[in-house]
Structures are given as structure tokens and as C-alpha cells.
A and B are shown apart, each in its own frame.
Chain A
């Protein structure tokens, strides 16, 4: 039977667990206590027949003594060595290392696994950039336009003779190419910042969860049925939803989805879909009125307003939430209001005004640059995330409901209010005179 040089350590460990004296065990298997001592300190190899005798005396299987739990650890150390052979690890002493420093060896194994995960992530990102047809097409557009502009500009400014007809023609070409370049660059920025809507490989658990929620538009009909709300049925209903998703591949993402869906069920039970949709229209999408009617918190009502599908009134709402550090957690988009896929959002969003004033609901009309310049109504509130405690500082979270301004719903006061000019994120915001700017924009002023 193949067995490692740590067999002796395992024999000693097992003997101590059983409370046997070294001399007593040695006597039982017919060897001297001194020889057993050498075996237990891994200084003598154990023959198969002696191993069987020791295993019998120690009431265990010979394989457990021979191979032990270190096999996986030794395999992982070998794998780590292959990954970085230039480190010149003493592979012939890996058993000693694992035996003497099992905690450090486990750390090497865990770090090796982490490196492997990160390498896979880098590979996926690289693959996305290399093979994305949308990105390739945008880059080709940019380079073609730049080539035409550069060549034409050099003709016009080069000093050679260019008759008037050609001059006019080249100026037209440059104008057209300039517009094309602007459009291609904008498309590129939108792609890099918001991502293409399809065929995006989720990177990391948060992105897996976002992909899962976007694919379902944050609405889960199977969890709206009262049969899914019963204590015993909840886990099963949630597991079924998660099992159907192709996006949730990692355990971490599945755990995050489970947490989200549990909260979804609690909201659904407190505010059943039909009653809530009817009330939503009757109360003209007012979260405060709905919170009073259903006796629920504003964040719960905001989630329900945003996540339930539109009814005949055709209104839709988006929802953003952030933690106390301002990191975006929930991002349900709404048409015409750009959300950053990565990085921090615009500090002028009412969400962050609310974060600075806990428990004070804030409502504002905002407008983002570019596109149709639609106006949106934002309703935000910051609440304490957990119960008050004397042992730790409070943890806050903020929610912001977003929907397009609607004169019929919002009345004259809001319709005539001057909108607050906000952005999506600094990188793609053209406002150069913004006091809240944290980094330069890559767009021209517009």
C-alpha cells in the first residue's frame, strides 16, 4: 500500500486520541517502543504488514493511516509548484512542510486556488474585449474615421495646390467623418461603461446576481403565489428559481440571490401583487401613500413599486440602492436614465443626498445630459439597515425610486420645477464645471 512520510504522525495522533501509551502499542504489534518512536516521528518507513497490525490495534483502516487528509494538500502544493516553478519550492520536502506547518500549507493551497480563480476572471475579461463584435466594430469605426480625417486634414493643410471644388469636398468629408467619429466614440463609451446588453459573461458574484435579476427584470411570478410564502415552502420555491438560472453559477452568487429572493417573498406576502398594483395606480405611484396603506417601510414599498411589472397605466420605475459607503447594490434601470455599470455614480443623485440625511425622504426632479434630456422624478430615503445596538454604530442603506416625470401623476409643482442636472458617472459626463467631479471626463463638452 502506498503511504506517505506522514504515516508516522498519523499513527501517533491516533494513539493519543485513544489514550494509548507508546510502549503498550509497541508491545501489542510486536515491536520495541524505541522503534515505534522512530516511526511516529516519520524517521522510519512502515511496512504493509506492520501498518495493518498498527491499524488493527488503533481500531482504524490502514488507508487512513497511510494516506490521510494530507493527500489533497500535497496535491495542491504540487500544483502550486507547477504554477510558479521559478520560485524553486523544495517539492521533495512538501510532506515535511505539510506535516510541520499544516496551516501555512493550507494557506498556500487557498492562495493557489485564488490565483486560479483570478486567472480565469482575467481570461474571461480579456476574451470579452478581444472577441466582442460590438467593441471590434466600434473600434474599426473610430480608426476609419480618424484615418480619413488625418489624411484629409494633411491634404488641406499641407501647402500643395488644392482647387476650390476639392477643398469643399474634403471639408464636407471631414465634417461627416467628425460626426461619425463622435458617434462611434460615444458608442464605445456606452459599451465600456454600460456594457452590451447581451452575451456578457458575468464576472464575479455581484455581476452574476445582476445578470440574473436583469434577465428576470427583477420580477419572479413563481414567488407571488401564496403557496410559496409558507415557511416550509419558501426555501424550495427559492431553490427552484435559482436552479432555473444559467447566470448563477457560483455558490456566492446563489447565496446572494437567495438573500434577495427571501426579501422578495417577504415583500410579496406583505403587499400581494394584485392589491398592490391596484393601489399603485390609485395612489399615483406615491411611495408614502402606499407605505401608509400597507403599513410597510418606504424601502419595501419602493422595491415593490419598481419590481412589479407595469399595468395598463404604462408607467415603469427603476430602483437604485446603495450601502452606507455609497456602493450601488441594486440597479434596476429605467429608460432614459443611465446607470454606471462599474464604479461610483453621480454625487448629485438624490440617493446620496438622502444618504447624508437618514430617515428624511427626499424628492427631486433630475435631468441627465445627452440623448432626449428626459426629466425623471427621484424619490429617495435612507434607513437603518439593522436593529439599533449599543455595541456598534448604525449601518445605513439608501433607496432611490426613479421614473420619468409624468404631468398626470406628478402635478404642476413638480412639472414646473427646475430639474437638478445630474450625470451617470464622471467618466461619461460632459459637464466640465461640476464641483463634484472626481475624475476627468472622456467626452467633449456638450
Chain B
């Protein structure tokens, strides 16, 4: 059975490239572009792993991560965060909120694949 990954990213061309890379690697990929409804999208999709952008319309990736970590059904979901801001303060904030991996844009495709495989233990 294919592993499920949800990509929450409002940049359509980035989401499309990530989707293609992961699909070709054997993942089942779904995407979502809104920050406001992101938590509900996670609950609906029930992914094995989440790729989460930080700057999203309506709600930031940090706020979404905080919500996920404070709810029983999403607390343990592995999250790979993507951001254009790679400063130490951003990384520290993400780690305090419970992120599993933190990557800065622009990223390499192989880096995303490696991180995701490690996050789901395969």
C-alpha cells in the first residue's frame, strides 16, 4: 500500500513539482493551498506524513503546527516544514512547536525524498 503524503503549499508550481517527485517515488500525494482550512484537510486526508509551508494564506504554518500538536489525533503526525525564512529564530520556533524536519527553500528534490523516507521509517 502506498504511503500517503499531504502537501500544504500555496505556490501551485512548487506544489506541482513536489507532487510529481513524490508520485514518481511511489507516494500517494494530495495537496492543499489554504492555511485557514489546513488542519481540517489533515484530518480528512489522514496522511502518513505532512509537508507544511510556513507562509500560507489565512494562517501560518507555525499556527497550523501548533494546532496539530495540541490535538490527540494529529499530535504524532510527522511534519516536514518548508520555509523561505531559514534564520535560526525560525528554525528554533519550529522546533519548539514540535516540527520533525525543517528545510529551507530552495531545496533539492533528493533532499525532500530522503527526509520523507526517514520520517516514515523506510
Contact = CB atoms under 8 A, between A and B. Distances in A.
Given A143-B106, A144-B105, A151 B84 contact: no
Contacts, number: 53
A152 interface: yes
A140 B13 CA distance: 15
A144 B21 CA distance: 17
A175 to B, nearest CB: 11
Given A140-B55, A143-B84, A148 B11 contact: yes
A173 B84 contact: no
B24 interface: yes
Given A154-B109, A155-B109, A158-B109, A148 B17 contact: yes
B109 A147 contact: no
A344 interface: no
B105 to A, nearest CB: 4
B106 A147 contact: yes
A146 B109 contact: no
B14 to A, nearest CB: 5
A155 B20 contact: yes
A166 B106 contact: no
Contact of B24 (A150, A154, A160): A160
Contact of A143 (B18, B105, B109): B105
B108 interface: yes
A172 to B, nearest CB: 9
Contact of A151 (B24, B55, B107): B107
Contacts of A151: 14, 17-18, 21, 106-107, 109
B69 to A, nearest CB: 25
Nearest to A177: B13
B20 A166 contact: yes
A176 interface: yes
Interface string A118-157: 0000000000000000000001100110111011101100
A148 B20 CA distance: 12
B106 A173 contact: no
B63 interface: no
B67 interface: no
A427 to B, nearest CB: 24
B55 A155 contact: no
13 contacts: A143-B84, A147-B14, A147-B84, A147-B106, A148-B11, A151-B14, A151-B18, A151-B21, A151-B106, A155-B20, A155-B109, A158-B109, A161-B24
